[in-house]
Structure 1
Amino acid sequence: MAVSDRLRRLRSITETEGHTSGVDAHSREEHVADAVARGIQGGFVATLLMTAFRLPLLRSLPPSANFWSQYVTGDDPDGHPIAGLALHLFYGVSSGALFGGLFSLYTAGRSIEPEQRGLVWGSVYGMVLSAFGVQVMLQKLLDIRLEADELALFHAGHLVYGLSLGAWVGSRTEGVEDPEREYEYDDGN
């Protein structure tokens, strides 16, 4: 369903109910489900971009290959590039779904357009994921300590992820983000 169709549907709902603030629970559930779907799409794209950013710089697989090796096969991580990349993609898509859902539920600061809010919150989200990745995944679960240059690139890769995810979700949220918000449209007349 196109954004303009959704907006017409929301206008129709609010006009027939006689007010602009009453969106039923089913519409809210659809809204969150759509946001999660945007997050899944954005997580997929952002993970591809982050991986493309990090591979030539670090010249190594994502640490998810180490996770696969340590907890599934028990052998050398270099022997599992496909499993490591698939697991990395799974992490990225799952994190994107969570971001999409959270982004749709965030109600403060609605004066900022969703595109800009997506960039801000996406970059924050990417850095939170990076800190979690270093502290929990790498150090606690995998007992990996990154060198300073590797750590900087690890964080930079997650910033790329967060910015890409936020840009994707934010740019596809305009007009359907808040079904209770009234939008003014310039139809050119």
Structure 2
Amino acid sequence: MSVSDRLRQLRPSAGSASERRPAADERSRTADKDVAGAVARGVQAGFVATLIMTAFRLPILRSLPPSANFWSQYVARDHDPDEHPIAGLVLHLAYGIQGGALFGALFELQDAEQAIEPEQRGLVWGTIYGLVLSAFGSQVMLKELLDIQLDADELTLFHAGHLVYGLSLGAWVGSRTEGVEDPETEYEYDDGN
């Protein structure tokens, strides 16, 4: 047998395109399922994190979230946010859930070699995400869209609330995301016998 014949035997058969497609389709379905699961985790996390953020901010600021201003200005058109506490809170919860869904998807897509555990990545990326949302909220939503200028102490608490949201979001998603097993870090159990 010649060397080229031996190489052909060692090389796996490429097979037809239809034989290769099921494996590619399976990987695609698995990736879609992973992103769908990540979005579902994000929705759950967004719900919980919004409740935590709202519980943090309401007693301190003693005012409704700015979503009540949005509702009164653009939906009810009466410009009195105090007339719409329930609508403002529901809208705030809807924003938080959507933000959580987006975070869940981004967290799943950002794989960065998984140098640290998902729980730690969740806290890091959740902190960054919360602060980015806060900056966007204060500069675009409040100033531009709602024409609201917060005092320094209110702005500080606005940012703190979004930091609490981001930390809660990241902790929830990270703690419910499976990490990649590293075979080098597996330990054997020594029962002493």
* TM tier relative to shorter chain: 0.7 to 0.9
Distance in 2, Cα, partners of 1:153 & 1:182 = 40
Gaps of 5+ in 2: 1-24
* 1:31 corresponds to which of 29, 34, 50: 34
Matches within 5 A, 1:53-64: 53-64=56-67
Task: Call closer, same or farther: CA 1:187–1:65 in 2, change over 3 Å.
Answer: farther
Q: Which residue in 2 is equivalent to 1:127?
A: 131
Q: Are 1:118 and 2:133 an aligned pair?
A: no
Gaps of 5+ in 1: 1-21, 176-180
Q: Which residue in 2 is equivalent to 1:86?
A: 90
State the TM-score, normalizing by the size of structure 2. 0.80
Distance in 2, Cα, partners of 1:168 & 1:187 = 30
Which structure is larger by alpha-carbon Rg, 1 or 2? 2
Shift of 1:174: 2.1
Task: Call closer, same or farther: CA 1:84–1:37 in 2, change over 3 Å.
Answer: same
1:58 maps to a residue whose letter is L
State the TM-score, normalizing by the size of structure 1. 0.82
Paired residues of 1:122 and 1:164 also in contact (CA < 8 A): yes
Distance in 2, Cα, partners of 1:94 & 1:31 = 18
Distance in 2, Cα, partners of 1:27 & 1:73 = 44
Shift of 1:74: 1.2
Paired residues of 1:115 and 1:174 also in contact (CA < 8 A): no
SS at match of 1:173: coil
Identity %: 71
Q: Which residue in 1 is equivalent to 2:160?
A: 156
Distance in 2, Cα, partners of 1:111 & 1:151 = 35
SS at match of 1:24: helix
The alignment covers a number of residue pairs equal to 163
2:47 maps to a residue whose letter is F
1:71 maps to a residue whose letter is Y
Q: Which residue in 2 is equivalent to 1:178?
A: none
Shift of 1:108: 1.1
Q: Which residue in 2 is equivalent to 1:42?
A: 45
1:48 maps to a residue whose letter is L
Shift of 1:23: 6.4
Distance in 2, Cα, partners of 1:67 & 1:130 = 16
The RMSD of aligned alpha carbons is 1.7
Q: Are 1:167 and 2:171 an aligned pair?
A: yes
Task: Call closer, same or farther: CA 1:187–1:91 in 2, change over 3 Å.
Answer: farther
- The C-alpha deviation readout for 1:7-47, integer Å capped at 9, x for no partner, is xxxxxxxxxxxxxxx96110010000000000000000000
